[in-house]
Amino acid sequence: MTLKSLLSATALAMLPLGASAAFAEDLPPCDNCSDSMVLMSWGGAYQASQVAAYAEPYSKLTGVKITWDEGSNEAIAKMRAASEAGNMTYSLVDVEGPDSQRACDEGLAEEIDFDKDLAAAPDGTAASKDFGSAIINECFVPQIVFSTTFGYRTDVKEWNGKVPDNLCAIFDLENFPGMRALEKRPKKNLEWALLCDGVPKEELYTVLSSEGGVDRALAKLDTIKDQVVWWSAGAETPQLLADGEVVMGSTYNGRLFSAIVEQKQPIGMLWDWQVFDFDGWVVPKGLDEAQKNRVLHFLNFATDTQRLADQAKYISYGPARASSQPLVSTHATLGIEMAPYMPTNPANQKNYLVNNIEWWADNQDEVEVAFQNWLSK
């Protein structure tokens, strides 16, 4: 709470004088729009960055009251429950890419007309082009690119001064002994295991689809199974690393950024084969007209080039718009250059993966059972 208000206060303080007047001119009027919204997001530092970068400025400009619901972890389940009850209580929902696909498939989210509903880049490039490959389906308005990657402790005596410089150090118990933290889900782990089992990036999903492909990945994970702590919340890995409970582990890059830069823990970051994912908004179906108008009006503002670049001042996730990239500057309170901590920084993305959403939509259920079965053996 304090952090949130602190961040929003700083954000407002940083707006140049008279800027709000300039915005007000930019902001088109909103006809037949409701005067409140309920936004669902992830809570924590991420939601705070959204509040500071666009929710608070938008409220300031329009007087719209914004209520937050920190339920994105189970966003689709909540949307489905609200939709079945015939009372959609959320105006706009923040979800990860694969969840947006599900919301779309289940008929829970509105389709977006990207060029009509979203602001064009300052140089006039249409929104659909500016977002480019970040648009993964017709319901999803991308905000940021985040990545899941590895952090490691920089003070492990047993490593004799060696430092992991590629992904496969995870599977190298000889040179890098110690416990590892991995997510208690098959997604990403299977891909990493196959990469380190010698499968080239292009063939990952062909191998996974083939007979015994999943078993091959699990067999590779078997080699480190008794050295793994399985996490289910993204905050666990930084904590485990800070406690010395594990020597390396996967988590979201923003979490590692906080642990390294804000909390000054002896942790290093491994960008090799980071897995990119998008996070963005979906507009739930079943909103009344005034509410929907308000949401689209807000979306247009909140996902324009400047606002997405602003968000990167508060959190180390890359903006999903190409035109926002050059505007990414320094951290709002620490004053450090953010570019080196961005997953989209060219130096960090020599090797990267993007999950095949379609493959996972098809195989999630089956692979999850196989994974749980393997875990409990």
Partner 1 sequence: MTEQTADGLMLAADGKPLKQSLNRALRRQKLRAFLLIAPLLIFVLVTFIAPIGDMLFRSVENDIVADTLPRTVAALADWSPDSGAPPGEPVYRALASDLLIAVAAKTHTQLGTRLNYEDSGFSSLLRGTGRDVDDMGEDVGKALVAVDPVWDEPVTWTNLLGDPAWISAQADWAKAGDKTPEPPFVPSAAAQKNLPLTAAAYGDFARVMQTVKEDSPTEKRPWNTVAVSLTEDLKANPSAAAAFGADWQPRLSAVVAAEQGGAIPAADFMAAFTESDKAWGTPQPWEVIKTFSPRFTSGYFLNAVDLKMTPEGIAPRSEAERVYLMLFLRTMVLSLVITGTCILLGYPVAWLLANLPARTANLLMILVLLPFWTSLLVRTSAWKVLLQQQGVINDLLVWAGLVADNNRLVLINNQTGTIIAMTHILLPFMILPLYSVMKTIPPSYLRAAKSLGATDWTAFWRVYFPQSVPGIGAGSILVFILAIGYYITPELVGGAKGVFISNRIAYHIGTSLNWGLAAALGSLLLVVVLVLYWVYDRIVGIDNVKLG
Name residue, tokens 């249409």: 126
Name residue, tokens 């079943």: 286
Q: How far apart are CA 361 and CA 341, in angstroms?
A: 30
The tokens of 299 are what? Answer: 């979306």
Pairing of strands 180-183, 228-231: parallel
Residue closer to partner 1 by CB (options 127, 241) is: 241
Residue closer to partner 1 by CB (options 82, 375) is: 375
CB 331 within 8 A of CB 68: no
Min dist. Cβ of residue 377 to partner 1 (A): 9
Residue closer to partner 1 by CB (options 155, 366) is: 366
Residue closer to partner 1 by CB (options 18, 160) is: 160
Q: How far apart are CA 333 and CA 329, in angstroms?
A: 12
The tokens of 254 are what? Answer: 């923003």
Shortest CA distance to 152 belongs to which of 46, 229, 266, 64?
266
Residue by residue, DSSP assigns 111-145 as ---HHHHSPPPTT---HHHHHGGG--STT-EEEEE
Min dist. Cβ of residue 230 to partner 1 (A): 5
Min dist. Cβ of residue 350 to partner 1 (A): 31
Min dist. Cβ of residue 102 to partner 1 (A): 7
Residue closer to partner 1 by CB (options 50, 239) is: 239
Read off the DSSP letter of residue 258: I
Contact positions toward partner 1, by CB under 8 A?
73-74, 76-77, 80, 102, 104-107, 179, 184, 215, 228-230, 232, 243-245, 358, 361-366, 368-370, 372-376
Residue closer to partner 1 by CB (options 25, 288) is: 288
Min dist. Cβ of residue 1 to partner 1 (A): 17
Q: Which phi and psi angles does 310 have, rounded to 5°?
A: -60, -40
Residue closer to partner 1 by CB (options 106, 337) is: 106
Kindly report the length of the chain.
377
Read off the DSSP letter of residue 152: E
Q: How far apart are CA 345 and CA 253, in angstroms?
A: 12
DSSP-H helix ranges across the chain:
2-14, 19-26, 44-50, 56-62, 75-84, 97-105, 114-117, 127-131, 189-196, 204-209, 213-222, 236-243, 253-257, 289-302, 305-311, 357-375
Min dist. Cβ of residue 365 to partner 1 (A): 6
Name the residue type at position 312: A
Residue closer to partner 1 by CB (options 64, 156) is: 156
Provide the greatest CA pair distance for the chain: 67
Read off the DSSP letter of residue 156: -
Min dist. Cβ of residue 272 to partner 1 (A): 26
Q: Which phi and psi angles does 335 have, rounded to 5°?
A: 75, 10
CB 85 within 8 A of CB 47: no
Residue closer to partner 1 by CB (options 187, 313) is: 187
Residue closer to partner 1 by CB (options 80, 201) is: 80
